[in-house]
Chain A
Amino acid sequence: MTNFATLKVWCGSSPDSGHLEIFVVPFEPGQSVLDGLRWIRAAKDPTLAIRFSCINANACKECMIEVDGKTVYACTTRLIPGEMTLKPLPNKRLVRDLVTEIAPPAERFGG
């Protein structure tokens, strides 16, 4: 078993001009995809845009992204010691990188 995970993370500011950035993340059993993303921000790229609030408690429901084609919460999806592809939600307006506009229109600033 390898002791790292390879995360291919979609980065970009508009839906048609993004690219997959590859990050190799130390892997420990039991970790979440959100742990991996937070590690990337601290160790590799602090400009990576991700949305989360409660940190692995699955209470705020803000960290919804697409992992290997499935819509999931990054905080309850386990990291695997292999390759995973992380993309923003396809059916929501893109803000940047993995962040999409998931709030209902009435709860957004500027509607």
Chain B
Amino acid sequence: MNSELVQVDTDVLVIGSGGAGMYAAIEAARAGCRVFLADRSLIGRGGATVMAQMTVAAALGSEVPDHWSHHRDDTLTAGRGLCDERLAGLLCEQGPDCIREMETWGIGWARKDGRIAQAMAPGHDRPRCVYVDFLNTGPALSKTLRAAVNRTTGIRKAGDLCIIDLIVADGEVVGAVALHLGSDAAVVIAAKATIIAAGGLTKLFQRNSASANMGGDGYALALRCGAPLVDMEFVQFFPIGHLAPRLIGMDPIMWDPFRYKLGGRLLNGLMQEFTSRYGSDERDKYVLTRDLASYAIMKEVEAGRGSPHGGAYLSFRHCSEHALREAFGPVIDRLAANNIDLTKMDIEVAPIAHYHMGGVVAADCMQTPVPGLFVAGETVGGANGANRLSGNAITEALVFGRQAGRSAAARAKSTPLRSYKPDTLKPMLSLLTGESSAHNNVNTAQMMRDLQSTMWEGVGPLRTEAKLLHAIATLEEMTRQIGELPPHGRKAFDLQRLEWFDFRNMLLVARAVAQSALQREESRGAHQREDFPAASPEWRVNQRVQLRGDELSITKPQRAAATVAQ
């Protein structure tokens, strides 16, 4: 099956078909380029966008007057001094325009009195978050963008196609090598410009709100072709992920919209309010930012005041059946099918890995330091610093996606398809078509669970030097265990083989997170070190990670690097 090599030529290759990838594809095609949109899952269905439950932040000024600079100020405050101000500014300035374009494509943002409704979310100074009702923001976004992709001429779509490595010739990215899951064929894609829009890395952690393909592929692809990463220690742990009772058919971050609309009370195992002890008195409002809330819950659990399953209680018992139904309609029935009645019972919540602030270094045109390589969405590092503001993830997907599409198209129009020596492909093709590993009996599915628990225990919401060192040693041992070659691949849809390639990426990226976290000897935003509990002015810098040979090198600039321009 994989004896023959499939070759594809394109102007712009887009890796990933979430919100960022689809917007990038549309924009590059509108500029007149041929686009090849690849996704390891189905087009427009996998990834994080489809999972978005509610809020998308943009200074539309629909409910109250607003200006994008206020949104930027809130973004910078939430980022605890580490945001790249150019990227944060771009996100906030261009957000409203993308929201309006999505409206013309028929997304159907929720409306109040004829105007687009904007909800108040923690960390924002005014109501700023648009949404599609009844937890439907993500599915509606994906569907709308997918339809727009299908209406746009010049975009070739390729689902079930997993990018294995980028091709680098003379220091420039000139395409990629991929594995087609359906046929196990090796595919070589030649491209004048390449955009990585492959999302984040939350699948590295045992408790996560990720889809199955958020294993940090994009960061690993970038590292291996020489691009630097930034802020890799900052993983956002979403504070109130669903913990108990067992709930299926719902995303674990679903309680966020409930809190936006109905407040809700966060209580410890003794049924006491506790957030005031950690710097913010919530009462019935939802104001605590994600980093502080996650910290507060973890500390209560550590002190023996957790809920039975090791989290906190979230209570909506003060809400009437009528109020619940008015706010969440059909969702109340889905909860009933899971035997959950919010008027009678509290549910348990706990922090879960949700989003990655770190990512690939990029200029505000989305160009990385490696010519030919662009990034978009969660793959971009820096816009959100040490902690992301609620509602900024979808906005950055749209804004950065559109910008990356534009910039990649400009490059593709002024660049010929580069030729390269066939030898360039040899090492990566040998992984796909060459010999297979002797370790065919490695149970990759079980190893995946081990990797996730290692990251959760050692590199989770509360970190120490000892825990980090232990995790790094385990990751190094696992890297030796998986070996140099993937297991046999002569079957269609070979998940074991795919998981080997996932491990290759996940272990590299996990090491980047753990080593960056070990170096940062302070606590800031989402990075909490029990052995260095305070923030240090000396650490108001952004660490960078590069791959040199097999080793990761982490560099700490001497002075504050959060960039200029007000």
The reply to whether A109 and B41 form a contact with Cβ atoms under 8 Å apart is: no
Contacting residues of chain B (232-246) with chain A, CB-CB under 8 angstroms:
245-246
* Interface flags, A16-58, vs B, CB<8A=1, else 0: 0000000000001111100100100111001111111111111
A96, A99, A107: the one contacting B43 at CB < 8 Å is A107
Task: Kindly state the separation between the CA atoms of A46 and B180 in the bound complex, as whole angstroms.
Answer: 19
Determine if B108 is an interface residue (Cβ-Cβ < 8 Å). no
Using known A-B contacts A53-B46, A59-B251, A108-B159, determine if residue A96 contacts B491 with beta carbons closer than 8 Å. Answer: yes
The reply to whether A101 and B443 form a contact with Cβ atoms under 8 Å apart is: no
* Interface flags, B284-298, vs A, CB<8A=1, else 0: 000000000000000
Determine if B187 is an interface residue (Cβ-Cβ < 8 Å). yes
| Nearest chain A residue, comparing its CB with the CB of B254 | A57
Chain A residues within an 8 Å CB radius of B150: 106
Chain B residues within an 8 Å CB radius of A54: 46, 50-51, 211-212, 251
A32, A47, A60, A108: the one contacting B494 at CB < 8 Å is A47
| Tally of A-B Cβ pairs under 8 angstroms | 135
Task: Kindly state the separation between the CA atoms of A76 and B446 in the bound complex, as whole angstroms.
Answer: 23
The reply to whether B45 and A43 form a contact with Cβ atoms under 8 Å apart is: no
Task: Kindly state the separation between the CA atoms of A88 and B494 in the bound complex, as whole angstroms.
Answer: 16
CB distance from B298 to the nearest CB of A (A): 23
B158, B182, B210, B496: the one contacting A101 at CB < 8 Å is B182
CB distance from B48 to the nearest CB of A (A): 9
Using known A-B contacts A50-B495, A103-B43, A107-B42, determine if residue A55 contacts B159 with beta carbons closer than 8 Å. Answer: no
Chain B residues within an 8 Å CB radius of A96: 491-493
How many chain-A residues does the 8 Å CB contact rule pick out? 44
A46, A52, A59, A108: the one contacting B496 at CB < 8 Å is A46
CB distance from A34 to the nearest CB of B (A): 8
The reply to whether A56 and B249 form a contact with Cβ atoms under 8 Å apart is: yes
The reply to whether A53 and B446 form a contact with Cβ atoms under 8 Å apart is: no
* Interface flags, B188-221, vs A, CB<8A=1, else 0: 0000000000000000000000111100000000
The reply to whether B159 and A107 form a contact with Cβ atoms under 8 Å apart is: yes
The reply to whether B248 and A109 form a contact with Cβ atoms under 8 Å apart is: no
Chain B residues within an 8 Å CB radius of A28: 246
Using known A-B contacts A31-B248, A46-B444, determine if residue A61 contacts B45 with beta carbons closer than 8 Å. Answer: yes
A46, A51, A73, A101: the one contacting B446 at CB < 8 Å is A46
Using known A-B contacts A30-B338, A32-B248, determine if residue A99 contacts B41 with beta carbons closer than 8 Å. Answer: no
Determine if A8 is an interface residue (Cβ-Cβ < 8 Å). no
Task: Kindly state the separation between the CA atoms of A99 and B495 in the bound complex, as whole angstroms.
Answer: 11
Contacting residues of chain B (12-65) with chain A, CB-CB under 8 angstroms:
38, 41-47, 50-51
| Nearest chain A residue, comparing its CB with the CB of B338 | A30
Using known A-B contacts A53-B45, A95-B182, determine if residue A29 contacts B246 with beta carbons closer than 8 Å. Answer: yes
Determine if A13 is an interface residue (Cβ-Cβ < 8 Å). yes
Chain A residues within an 8 Å CB radius of B160: 103, 108-109
B46, B180, B187, B449: the one contacting A62 at CB < 8 Å is B46
Determine if B229 is an interface residue (Cβ-Cβ < 8 Å). no
Using known A-B contacts A47-B491, A95-B182, A109-B187, determine if residue A60 contacts B211 with beta carbons closer than 8 Å. Answer: yes
The reply to whether A53 and B211 form a contact with Cβ atoms under 8 Å apart is: yes
CB distance from B19 to the nearest CB of A (A): 13
| Nearest chain B residue, comparing its CB with the CB of A79 | B248
Chain A residues within an 8 Å CB radius of B496: 46-47
Task: Kindly state the separation between the CA atoms of A54 and B209 in the bound complex, as whole angstroms.
Answer: 9
The reply to whether B449 and A99 form a contact with Cβ atoms under 8 Å apart is: no
| Nearest chain B residue, comparing its CB with the CB of A55 | B212
Using known A-B contacts A62-B42, A109-B161, determine if residue A95 contacts B493 with beta carbons closer than 8 Å. Answer: yes
The reply to whether B492 and A95 form a contact with Cβ atoms under 8 Å apart is: yes
Chain A residues within an 8 Å CB radius of B445: 38, 41-42, 46
Using known A-B contacts A30-B338, A103-B159, A109-B180, determine if residue A52 contacts B212 with beta carbons closer than 8 Å. Answer: yes
B43, B212, B252, B493: the one contacting A97 at CB < 8 Å is B493
The reply to whether A103 and B42 form a contact with Cβ atoms under 8 Å apart is: yes
CB distance from B446 to the nearest CB of A (A): 5
Chain A residues within an 8 Å CB radius of B38: 109
User: 4 more A-B contacts (CB under 8 A) besides A13-B491, A53-B46?
Assistant: A32-B248, A49-B492, A95-B182, A110-B6
**The 10 residue pairs across chains A and B that have the minimum distance between CB atoms:** A30-B246, A109-B158, A53-B46, A57-B251, A76-B249, A41-B445, A42-B445, A107-B43, A49-B493, A46-B445
